[in-house]
Amino acid sequence: MKKFRFPLRSVATVRSMIELRAREQFSRAVQASVAAEKKLIEQRARVSELESILRSGRLTRFLAADQATFMAALKDETAIITKFTADLNSARREMESARQAWLESRRDVRVIENLEQKARTAHLHEVERENQAAMDDRTGAMVARASFNLT
């Protein structure tokens, strides 16, 4: 029986390494997206807390200096929300492009895997055919020997 040899083994190895790197890049992009989303949520909570302080300050004695300071802080914190939202959108776009790159590299790996499976199947059929031919030859030789001995 012949040993199975796949001529595209080196191509499969290279494509597997590329797929692994793409998967790792996607994982990093997902982590960056989650971190950006967490920062945005925390910033929104900070703005919400600042707004509640501002509202509660209006219920008591009005201090113009405090109100002006809180309004300036609220404006700055809201600007940070805008920046964090842009960062989150950028991280999501990067994550989607990394996902597409990973899926594309995964398709390339699957193509090679399918080719290898077809080559294995063809190899097994060839080995079975050779084994059957060898058994037929042996049976034929035994019949010929038996009929030679009878005469």
Tens digits of per-residue pLDDT, 32-51?
Answer: 999 999 999 999 999 999 88
pLDDT at 146: 74
* Domain regions of the chain by residue span: 11-116
What does the pLDDT average to over 14-30? 96
CATH number of this structure's domain 11-116, picked from the four choices 1.10.3470, 1.10.287, 1.10.10, 3.30.70: 1.10.287
30-37, long-range: CB < 8 A, 24+ apart: 30/95, 32/91, 32/94, 32/95, 33/88, 33/91, 33/92, 33/94, 33/95, 35/91, 36/84, 36/87, 36/88, 36/90, 36/91, 37/88, 37/91
What's the whole-number mean pLDDT along residues 61-67?
72
